Amino acid sequence: MNRVVITGIGAYSCIGKNIEEIKESLYQGRSGIGFVQERKDIGFRSALSGVVERPNLKGLLDRRLRVGLPEQGEYAYLSTLEAMNNAKIDMDFLQQNEVGILFGNDSSSKAVIESTDIVREKKDTMLLGSGYIFQAMNSTVSMNLSVIFKLRGINFTISAACASGSHAIGMGYLFIKHGMQNMVVCGGAQEVNPFSMGSFDALSAFSVRESEPTKASRPFDKHRDGLVPSGGAATVILESYESAVKRGAPILGEIIGYGFSSNGEHISQSTVDGLLRAMRMSLKDAGLTPQQIDYINAHATSTPHGDASEAMAISEVFGTCKPLVSSTKSMTGHECWMAGASEIVYSTLMMQNSFIAPNINFEEPDEYSEKLNIVSHTLNKNFDVFLSNSFGFGGTNSSLIVRKI
């Protein structure tokens, strides 16, 4: 079995367009949430969203490579470029080695809706152009990035709702651990356009604290009233320890545990049993006891039911050892398909820079969160091991454990 390490990270999110900006936002406890009038105008119940600026890739990528890229693909291109630079990987390396890609993505709504509207209006599919098909498929991110970066290894997309990015990293870990790949570009991407979130808004799952956007996402707080949708992309380059050492690559952490489960219950509501089984499986895979986890980056999205379930599951698994807990979604909102990957990036940044980012807006605990050791203000602290939770619709759960080496 190979050891699996992280040699590059990159992200493009509502709290920063690169890891330097993001590190600063995490440390400062800065929210990336805003009020988006366009959502109100088209009938959203909640106009709150992570605010992510669309990049202009003209000049960076030629036209043919841009035409098939949807919004989240543009974010993922930038996060991957950053991660590759950090990992000291160039195009020569990519052409000489079989590098894989496993990205989390679970929708590409804008391209689907726009292309359907055009055909309805023009009644001629020949007037769609060449880009929509490559933008509209769920595999759009892995499809486009594998062409842009000329990747020659494993190549597919993981669609697992809000656990997509986490499972993508889990899959990459397994491929490398079992010797089937030496390097896999993992990550998650999430579109932010209103089309992608209308049907989610319909569930009344979003916070309506529109008068105070930066206070709307308040995981574990007693007065939370729902999540705030968000997006962007994050990339985590996984590599075998042997390959990383041979290349002299920076080693930012080691993936030592991956646990997963399916609730087998409700389509949108989590269960304590499913969550705790994923966490216990990751601990077993890592060969660690609960006492050895220093920090938990919680999935907690700020929904009343979801956060309570996770708080109960953490309490049951970790009992009296009470590791530090925070949900960075308090600042970023819920980055959905991207979240499992971005939260590995955020937690790795914290571990490298010796701080725990705050669970902002945690002002009053409820009966479940009062049993956790929640970090509500930035904590300067050196730590060695973290666990990151991600849960999704359909009851898909993923827990990853990373340690410093």
Partner 1 sequence: MEKQEIIEKINNFLVEEFELDPDQLKPEALLKEDLGIDSLDFVDIIVIIEKNFGFKVKGEEMVNVKSLNDFYDYVAAHVSQ
Q: Is 150 left (phi over 0), alpha (psi -120 to 50) or beta?
A: left
Instruction: Determine which residue in the list 124, 211, 248, 380 makes contact with partner 1, applying CB under 8 A.
Output: 124
- Could you say whether residue 63 binds partner 1 (CB under 8 A)? yes
- Could you say whether residue 127 binds partner 1 (CB under 8 A)? yes
Instruction: Determine which residue in the list 18, 65, 131, 225 makes contact with partner 1, applying CB under 8 A.
Output: 131
Instruction: Determine which residue in the list 38, 60, 64, 246 makes contact with partner 1, applying CB under 8 A.
Output: 64
Q: Which is nearer to partner 1, 113 or 128 (CB)?
A: 128
276-306 burial, b at 16+ Cβ within 10 Å, e below that, comes to: bbbbbbbbebbebebebbbbbbbbbbbbeeb
Going through 121-271 in order, the beta strands assigned E by DSSP cover: 155-158, 183-190, 232-240, 253-262
The rounded distance, in Å, linking the Cα atoms of 193 and 139 is 18
User: Which residue in the list 14, 167, 299, 336 is annotated as catalytic?
Assistant: 299
Q: Which is nearer to partner 1, 65 or 112 (CB)?
A: 65
Give kind and range of the element (H or E) at residue 83: helix 71-86
The rounded distance, in Å, linking the Cα atoms of 55 and 17 is 9
User: Which residue in the list 162, 167, 186, 336 is annotated as catalytic?
Assistant: 162
Report which of 48, 32, 328, 372 is spatially closest to residue 222, judged by C-alpha positions. 372
Q: Is residue 334 among the annotated active site residues?
A: yes
Question: Do 31 and 217 meet the contact criterion of CB atoms below 8 Å apart?
Answer: yes
CB of 67 to partner 1, least distance (A): 7
Q: Which is nearer to partner 1, 62 or 367 (CB)?
A: 62
- Could you say whether residue 129 binds partner 1 (CB under 8 A)? yes
Span interacting with partner 1, options 129-137, 157-165, 168-176, 375-383, rule CB under 8 A: 129-137
Q: Among positive and negative, which fits the CA dihedral 341, 343, 348, 353?
A: positive
- Could you say whether residue 119 binds partner 1 (CB under 8 A)? no
User: Which residues are identified as catalytic?
Assistant: 162, 299, 334
Point out which residues bind partner 1 (CB under 8 A).
62-64, 67, 124, 126-131
